[in-house]
């Protein structure tokens, strides 16, 4: 389903945009839209390497929010595309702080899905005083078990998709599928890394929705999109997100006092609900909303509705209702 058919705010254009050089290699695209003096909200895209799109602005009421988006290192309009050198979670956190200071923002709401939820948690734990709260979707904590699930476990639900993902890899290399893909994705030969990137990206895209969307698979097969997603996801996976074991759960004490709304598709195969449930259990003040008819994508009707409801709740009250008890609620 395209974003034009979803319960989102009308399309808007950025008020201003720019490029921010962060080192000798990377220059990042950023943009602002909505109300100049509104409540600042930072949208953090997924992937890593997924980039932002105009549809992402539409989760927020532009009459209330100052909407900030940027493409992380190696993603979207940031340059160089697919660059994995000087690309770590810690450097992304520094980039967010540099952008905050550039825009003169004191505190902002963090909104992120999938890898965006990972980065939101990591940034929040590094800079809790800069955060107003969190709206998180499709939770990913970048643990070895979650990475193994992505590489191997999704075959239990999408066997034909996983079979196509594995097919380019010789049988002798298949026991360590991540390293096999890394050898190809980090080659300097486009004839080697581009097919690998397309295969990786198509694999993920085919598993995003409860009802697969062939148009999204085609979009993600574009050379630019697939290079950012394939290379950077593999890069972060092989380094386990540049985290210590279970770092994001261990660090929740730094942000547990802040409001948090978690949206999770019941049939999310990319980031299964057990991770969202675990985060919620470790963060008693958070609210978890399970969407009963959704997979991983933010652009499924129930998930889009829940995300907009969360931004509207924060707009009205600066917080979220008390956590559902005894368990999470299905929409």
pLDDT score recorded for residue 329? 61
Is residue 213 annotated as a catalytic residue, yes or no? no
Confidence of residue 100 (pLDDT cuts 50, 70, 90): very high
**Model pTM score:** 0.94
> Does the pLDDT value for residue 2 go beyond 80?
no
Cα dist. 116→43, 79, 104, 195 in Å? 8, 19, 22, 26
Query: Using one digit for the tens of pLDDT, what is the confidence trace for 135-184?
Result: 999 999 999 999 999 999 999 999 999 999 999 999 999 999 999 999 99
Cα(145)–Cα(154) distance, integer angstroms: 12
Query: Residue 114 catalytic?
Result: yes
| Active-site residue, from 78, 201, 268, 280 | 268
Whole-number pLDDT of residue 325: 41
Residue 244's CB is within 10 A of a number of other CB atoms, namely 10
Lowest mean pLDDT of 48-62, 115-129, 312-326, name the range.
Answer: 312-326
Per annotation, catalytic residue among 33, 78, 114, 199: 114
Q: Where do the DSSP E strands lie in 209-316?
A: 260-265, 287-291
CA 168 from chain center: how many Å? 27
User: Residue 323 above 80 pLDDT?
Assistant: no
The pair of structure tokens assigned to 232 is 């950077």
pLDDT of residue 328: 53
Rounded percentage of the chain residues whose pLDDT exceeds 70: 95
Model pLDDT for residues 259-284, shown as the tens digit of each residue: 999 999 999 999 999 999 999 999 99
Higher pLDDT, 36 or 325: 36
Q: Does residue 296 have an active-site annotation?
A: yes
**Strand pairing partners for 31?**
17, 69
Q: What is the CA radius of gyration of the chain?
A: 19
Among 235, 280, 296, 305, the active-site one is 296
Residues 170-187 have pLDDT tens digits of 999 999 999 999 999 999
**What is the distance between the alpha carbons of residues 314 and 304, in angstroms, rounded to a whole number?**
16
* Neighbouring C-beta atoms of residue 253, cutoff 10 Å: 11
> Across residues 219-234, what is the average pLDDT?
88
For residues 38 and 323, the model is more confident at 38
**List of long-range contacts for 284-287, beta carbons under 8 Å, 24+ apart:** 284/256, 284/323, 285/256, 285/257, 285/259, 285/260, 285/323, 286/260, 286/261, 286/262, 286/323, 287/260, 287/261, 287/262, 287/320, 287/321, 287/322, 287/323, 287/324
Q: Note the pLDDT of residue 331.
A: 59
Across 241-251, average pLDDT: 98
pLDDT band at 20 (very low <50, low <70, confident <90, very high): very high
Domains along the chain?
3-142+242-330 (3.40.50.1820), 145-241 (no CATH)
* 201: number of Cβ within 10 Å: 26
Residue 87 main-chain phi, psi, to 5 deg: -140, 95
Asked if 212 and 206 count as a contact pair (C-beta separation under 8 A), the reply is yes
């Amino acid at each position: 389903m395209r974003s034009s058919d979803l319960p989102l705010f009308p399309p808007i254009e950025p008020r201003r945009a720019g490029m921010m050089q962060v080192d000798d290699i990377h220059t990042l695209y950023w943009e602002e839209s909505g109300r100049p003096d509104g409540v600042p909200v930072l949208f953090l895209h997924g992937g890593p390497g997924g980039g932002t799109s105009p549809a992402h602005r539409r989760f927020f009421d532009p009459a209330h929010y100052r909407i900030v988006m940027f493409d992380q290192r190696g993603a979207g309009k940031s340059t160089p595309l697919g660059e994995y050198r000087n690309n770590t979670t810690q450097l992304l956190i520094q980039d967010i702080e540099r952008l905050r200071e550039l825009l003169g923002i004191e505190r902002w709401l963090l909104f992120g899905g999938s890898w965006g939820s990972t980065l939101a948690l990591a940034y929040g734990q590094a800079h809790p005083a800069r955060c107003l709260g969190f709206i998180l979707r499709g939770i990913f904590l970048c643990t070895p078990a979650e990475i193994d699930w992505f590489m191997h476990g999704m075959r239990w639900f999408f066997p034909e998709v996983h079979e196509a993902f594995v097919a380019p890899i010789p049988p002798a290399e298949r026991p360590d599928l991540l390293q096999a893909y890394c050898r190809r994705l980090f080659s300097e030969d486009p004839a080697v890394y581009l097919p690998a990137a397309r295969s990786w990206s198509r694999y993920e895209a085919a598993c995003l929705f409860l009802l697969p969307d062939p148009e999204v698979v085609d979009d993600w097969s574009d050379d630019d999109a697939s290079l950012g997603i394939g290379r950077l996801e593999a890069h972060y996976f092989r380094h386990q997100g540049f985290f210590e074991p279970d770092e994001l759960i261990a660090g929740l004490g730094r942000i547990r006092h802040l409001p948090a709304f978690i949206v999770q598709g019941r049939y999310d195969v990319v980031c299964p609900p057990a991770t969202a449930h675990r985060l919620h259990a470790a963060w008693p003040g958070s609210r978890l909303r399970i969407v009963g008819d959704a997979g991983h994508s933010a652009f499924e009707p129930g998930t889009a509705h829940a995300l907009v409801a969360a931004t509207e709740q924060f707009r009205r009250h600066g917080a979220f209702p008390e956590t559902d008890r005894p368990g999470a609620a299905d929409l």
